[in-house]
Amino acid sequence: MRSKLMVGNWKMNGSLMANASLLADVLAGMADVQCRAAVCVPAVYLAQVQTLLAGSAMGLGAQDLSAHEAGAYTGEVSADMLRDFAVRYCIIGHSERRQYHAESDVTVAIKAQRALAAGITPIVCVGESLAEREAGQTEAVVKRQLAAVIHANGHCISEIVVAYEPVWAIGTGLTATPEQAQAVHAVLRAQLQAATAHADRVSILYGGSMNPANAASLLAQPDVDGGLIGGASLKAPDFLSMLKAASR
């Protein structure tokens, strides 16, 4: 059975002082936490957070990496650079990257490949817009997005994490019902099972406005293996509440 994985995505938030305070509070409250946990932080804070998390059970994650290995790509951060900071996870293809930076399915697949080659677990995000859901295209959209990653990574696909993040439920206060989330997670699980004999190793996280009020009901679904948590991960009591919900 897969242990739950809870990942905080700080997005473009934080400061040296705020990071230290937040993580001190989170780490102090983790005595009863049994699930796997990580925080994905802005690249400029990786060194600080690596030090703050030293010796703890909390994993360090990044929010993006370059599709290139090295070279004249000003402003980019490579997978090997992230590995220098003991990064264990990297969010790949978040809907905000797809929307605001025009990342294609192919680009996302290549980035996942770069992460795996560096020994970093990619958290590959898939999800549909409200218009796509209303048009009945949810299954086709998420399967297309995941298929690109499966095609590019072959037998290594069992080493990824998938995060289903309905675009219409990110930062909007809207959340998929447990039943809606489970339905999409089941589709993704079946797609992974068709691609690898080790699909049971792959954690599928829910990533659309999970919060302390809905975490337990979402996490109770058979194919929901954890959460990719945005704003609530910036509040120690809320993040801890969800970590403990995932530990039951």
CA angle 213, 8, 27 (to 5 degrees): 90
Catalytic (active site) residue 155: no
Catalytic residue among 96, 159, 165, 185: 165
Q: Is 165 a catalytic residue?
A: yes
For 167-187, b/e burial (b = at least 16 CB within 10 A) is: bbbbeeeebbebebbbebbeb
What is the phi/psi pair of residue 8, to 5°?
-90, 130
> What is the token pair recorded at 77?
């951060």
Angle (nearest 5°) at CA 190 between 186 and 196: 140
* Element spanning 60, H or E: strand 58-62
Single out the catalytic residue among 94, 96, 128, 185.
94
Handedness of CA 219, 221, 226, 229 (dihedral sign): negative
Q: How many Å apart are CA 245 and CA 237, to the nearest integer?
A: 12
Annotated catalytic residues are 94, 165
